[in-house]
Amino acid sequence: MTLAIIMAGGRSARMRATAGPAHKALVPVLGVTLLERNLCALLSRGFRHIAVAVSAHEPDVERYVLGRARALATAWNARLDCLKETSPRGTIGAVAGLDAIDGSILVVNVDNLTALQLGKLVAFHEASAAAMTVASHIEMMRVPCGELRIVDGLVAEYLEKPTKRIPASSGTYVLGPKARAMLDPERRWDAPDLVSALIGQGERVCAFPHDAPWIDVNDAARLGQAEQLIAEHMDSFEHWDDAPQHEVVALLVLSPSSALLVHRPARAARYPERWDVPGEELHRDDTTPREAARRLLARVVPGTRLAPEFLASFDDLDVATRRLVRHHVFVAHADDEPSPPSFDAPARWVGRQRLERLGPLSAPLVRSLAWAERPR
């Protein structure tokens, strides 16, 4: 069984300088933290033994790993370990502290988001007999000045700020036994150091080229770009490889300052004892999710002339019921707050500024609001 490690032990200095005090692992992208997005990508692609490397000086990250992250892993019958670093180990040094493990180790960085097929990367590595494999994509880089092509001391061509195709590291690696043996646990190791050391010893380091969507999320500006990338590749980022066990049509009804929400009772089939988006199971006889959304809107706000607009589709693992649910979310914008009828659970208008004081919120509610508030 391949062990997968999420590296989240850095200081997050750039993110904190531009986006606030939270460690980048806990910064949400469309309502889901970077750590959770990486974890769910691994769970979705079949990895069942996962570890997260965290700094001993970042207790909020450790609490998240031992709480929400471990609950997600347990709900999917996976094992999640927390590797606490008491001193900086570098971008790949946490591997040196692992106990003896058979098989390959997949290393991903918490600040990278990608739709790369990680299982194919591991299979490629194991078939290559390499000591280490680096996932690689093409970055288009514009040279900031004019480029000269010089032949025998003469300028043969002048290219004004050309764009170059650069093979770049995707920050995702697979390490075999030889690469792990190279790591001295007494020193710091960054990924480039390990690659250079292996090459210096004559070991094989393979590249795994791919064209999957990829982004490095290190500051506030990149957060917006990451949300745009996910919106452009919704199926790749928001849907698990496993088929969902249930499909739900959800309706986010918003007034200028409030949202119409329901509170799920303790015996609810999904997200019990949490505030949630009104929704219902997708019926087999529904032609499309939009048809179901229109029916749901007529129930929630009878007599309305509003038309539901498609907002997003995403899979979410409900840790309370251990069910993978696909949510087809639609949004309707109301000019005021009409009183809703009795619904399948108590529904009421809630000011969006009061949500944090309302009580536990479901993951689909948080994600739906994030999609609705995303700049277009």
* pLDDT, position 206: 98
Does position 342 have pLDDT exceeding 60, yes or no? Answer: no
99 and 218 belong to one structural domain: yes
Strand 79-85 to 49-55 pairing: parallel
90, part of any domain = yes
257 and 226 belong to one structural domain: no
Does position 279 have pLDDT exceeding 70, yes or no? Answer: yes
161, part of any domain = no
Query: What is the four-CA torsion angle of 70, 2, 213, 71, rounded to 10 degrees?
Result: -10
273, part of any domain = yes
213, part of any domain = yes
What does each C-alpha distance from 102 to 1, 23, 99, 364 come to in angstroms?
8, 32, 10, 38
236, part of any domain = no
The 8-class DSSP code of residue 283 comes to P
Look at residues 178, 208, 231 and tell me which one is the last residue of a structural domain: 231
60 and 128 belong to one structural domain: yes
Pick 154 or 286 by higher pLDDT.
Answer: 154
Question: Which residue range(s) make up the domain with 222?
Answer: 3-136+168-231
* pLDDT, position 285: 72
Which residue's structure tokens are 């995403």?
Answer: 314
Tokens for 133, please give them: 């494999």
305 and 332 belong to one structural domain: yes
* pLDDT, position 354: 85
What's the pLDDT band for 61 if we cut at 50, 70, 90?
A: very high
**How many domains does the chain fold into?**
2
256 and 190 belong to one structural domain: no
Q: What is the mean pLDDT of residues 232-244?
A: 95
187 and 314 belong to one structural domain: no
What's the CA gap between 298 and 127, in Å, rounded? Answer: 56
CATH number for the domain harbouring residue 103: 3.90.550.10
215 and 277 belong to one structural domain: no
253 and 312 belong to one structural domain: yes
Single-letter code of the amino acid located at 246: H
188 and 297 belong to one structural domain: no
The 8-class DSSP code of residue 179 comes to H
Over 196-257, what HEC string results? Answer: HHHHHCCCCEEEEECCCCEEECCCHHHHHHHHHHHHHCHHHHHCCCCCCCEEEEEEEEECCC
* pLDDT, position 343: 55
328, part of any domain = yes
What's the pLDDT band for 100 if we cut at 50, 70, 90?
A: low
Residue-level length of the chain: 376
**29 within 8 A of 223, measured Cβ to Cβ:** yes
Does position 200 have pLDDT exceeding 80, yes or no? Answer: yes
* pLDDT, position 359: 87
What's the pLDDT band for 338 if we cut at 50, 70, 90?
A: low
Q: What is the mean pLDDT of residues 342-347?
A: 59
Question: pTM for this one?
Answer: 0.93
* pLDDT, position 166: 95
95 and 224 belong to one structural domain: yes
Single-letter code of the amino acid located at 295: R
Cβ-proximal residues to 279 (8 Å cutoff; 6+ apart), any chain: 248, 249, 250, 251, 296, 327, 364
Query: What is the four-CA torsion angle of 208, 213, 214, 219, rounded to 10 degrees?
Result: 180
| pLDDT, tens digit, 9 for 90 and up, residues 14-51 | 999 999 999 999 999 999 999 999 999 999 999 999 99
What's the CA gap between 210 and 253, in Å, rounded? Answer: 40
Look at residues 176, 198, 231 and tell me which one is the last residue of a structural domain: 231
240, part of any domain = no
CATH number for the domain harbouring residue 285: 3.90.79.10
* pLDDT, position 345: 52
SS3 92: coil
Percentage of residues of the chain with pLDDT beyond 70:
97
What's the CA gap between 277 and 265, in Å, rounded? Answer: 13
142, part of any domain = no
202 and 269 belong to one structural domain: no
Residue 64 CA, chain-centre distance (Å), reads 15
Q: What is the mean pLDDT of residues 201-214?
A: 97
267 and 217 belong to one structural domain: no
* pLDDT, position 346: 66
Percentage of residues of the chain with pLDDT beyond 90:
78
What is the pLDDT of the chain when averaged over all its residues?
A: 92
